[in-house]
Each structure stands twice: as C-alpha cells, then as structure tokens.
Amino acid sequence: MKKKRLFVLITQDPLQSGAVAEALRLCAGIAATEQFDLTVYLADKVVCAITQQDCNLINEDTLFSSLEILKDSRCKFLTLSQTNCYDGKLPVHFEKVDKSILAKFTVESDYLIKF
C-alpha cells in the first residue's frame, strides 16, 4: 500500500518561539512510525537561525536532537533557493527549491501541517 504524503511547513522563528523545536520533535515521532512519506519545509529564517553560532534558540536541545533523529529517516527537507545562510553545518541535507515546487508539494500532499 502506498504511504500517505505528509508535508510539514515550519515558518516560526526559533529565536521567538518553541514551535520549531516542537514541530521537529513531532516530525521525528512521525518519521519513526514509517507510515508517511514525510517532507519538511524550513523557512529561510529557520535555516538561518539554526545555522548561526550561539544564538539562543528556544528549546535548542529538542530542536537539534530531533534533527539528529530525522537525519536517519527518509524525511526530505526543503528550503527556498534564495536561502543564503545555509552552510551545510546542519545534521540534515536540505534541497533548495523555488516557490513553484513548494506549491506542488502543498497541492500533492495528502496532509499538510503548518507551524
């Protein structure tokens, strides 16, 4: 049976809100079930904040431990092609896409969650 497609959009600022860490924790739990084809979009401000050194992210431990868990899953990470601050230092690989690809994922996914 084909897996349902889940697209999670994370647009909150991890310097202002714990929603990013909680969203990634949720994604790690979902990925562990292997019941969904999971794709996670991280907005530019999220990618930039989590690649900076010493920037006091809210729930930083949860955020990075969840990324570590997701690294070993089949989860796909997307960010916009104009993101200039991604330097490859995160534990997961990001595919840089344009807005039309994001729109395609949004339309073609069975489920959509936005944080």
Going by C-alpha positions, the residue among 100, 88, 106, 32 that lies closest to residue 24 is: 32
Query: Distance between CA atoms of 27 and 7, rounded to whole angstroms?
Result: 10
Average pLDDT, integer, range 18-46: 94
> For a pLDDT cut of 90, what percent of the chain falls above it?
63
Residue 84 has pLDDT above 70, yes or no: no
Structure confidence at residue 70 (pLDDT): 92
What CATH number was assigned to the domain covering residues 4-114?
3.40.1260.10
Q: pLDDT band for position 80 (50/70/90)?
A: confident
Looking at the DSSP assignment, which residues form a beta bridge with residue 5? 37
Mean of pLDDT values over 31-53: 89
Asked if pLDDT for residue 32 goes beyond 80, the answer is: yes
How does residue 38 score in pLDDT terms, banded at 50, 70 and 90? very high
Residue 96 has a pLDDT of 87
pTM for the full model? 0.88
Do residues 57 and 21 make contact, with C-beta atoms less than 8 angstroms apart? Answer: yes
Domain spans of the chain, in order of start:
4-114
| Three-state secondary structure call for residue 33 | helix
Residue 44 pLDDT: 86
